[in-house]
A = this chain, B = another copy of it.
């Protein structure tokens, strides 16, 4: 039995849908990427210092930091609108069919995300993907965000399998490194700009889209 744990943001859902909101707010075409990178750093610092920060809180903090850095006003209702838009993202074009093929092939399908549970469920519902998953597991449930080992191990525990029977699929190198360090397998969706971390264990499956990754997972079964 293999349980496939899919990262959600960027891997399944397309954050480019946020670009008009960022353009209106910060007038800087790189601001959405800067925000997501800053948000991750805030979340990682929480993990390294033993002061857990949930993903929604990290998103608000990073918006405030970005506004401060760019010298732009950020009305609270605008910050709320951006964070709420995270729950209403479209899937990347190839995602619904690729997920459906994996599901039909008999894999146990889990969404494993750093988003809090309510956001994770809203995201899958909005994107029309909810029916494809056996479970949605939020890292918030173990109060340790990926790439720490606990969220990956939570998937193994939920389905009563060893970590080696869990395969993460993600478009983030840090998420793949975390899964491999936790004893899982991993596949990297190498969307534009995505590069593996060339240290430690490496993913045995790499493809440019979820379609190619799904093909290889099915072929490797």
A45–B181 Cα distance when bound, in Å, is 10
A220 CB, min distance to chain B CBs, angstroms:
24
Q: Mark contacts of A44-74 with chain B using CB atoms, 8 A cut-off: 1 yes-contact digit, 0 otherwise.
A: 1111111101000100010011001100000
| Tally of contact residues, A, Cβ under 8 A | 35
A174 interface neighbour in B41, B198, B200, Cβ under 8 Å: B41
CB atoms of B41 and A41 under 8 A apart: yes
6 A-B residue pairs with CB within 8 Å: A40-B41, A45-B178, A46-B199, A49-B148, A57-B199, A68-B195
CB atoms of A45 and B177 under 8 A apart: yes
Known A-B contacts A44-B44, A174-B41; A51 and B197 likewise in contact (beta carbons under 8 Å): no
A187 CB, min distance to chain B CBs, angstroms:
18
A193 at the interface (CB under 8 A from B): yes
A37–B38 Cα distance when bound, in Å, is 10
Interface of A is mostly: helix
Knowing that A41-B174, A50-B181 are A-B contacts, what are 11 other residue pairs whose CB atoms are under 8 Å apart, sorted by A's residue number?
A41-B41, A42-B199, A44-B48, A45-B178, A47-B48, A49-B148, A49-B178, A49-B200, A65-B195, A65-B196, A69-B193
CB atoms of B197 and A49 under 8 A apart: no
Note all chain B residues with C-beta closer than 8 A to A193: 69
Q: Mark contacts of A145-177 with chain B using CB atoms, 8 A cut-off: 1 yes-contact digit, 0 otherwise.
A: 001110000000000000000000000011001
A182 at the interface (CB under 8 A from B): yes
CB atoms of B149 and A50 under 8 A apart: yes
A173 CB, min distance to chain B CBs, angstroms:
8
A49 interface neighbour in B45, B53, B182, Cβ under 8 Å: B182
Note all chain B residues with C-beta closer than 8 A to A53: 199
CB atoms of A65 and B197 under 8 A apart: yes
A61 interface neighbour in B51, B178, B197, Cβ under 8 Å: B197
A173–B66 Cα distance when bound, in Å, is 13
A181–B45 Cα distance when bound, in Å, is 10
A83–B199 Cα distance when bound, in Å, is 17
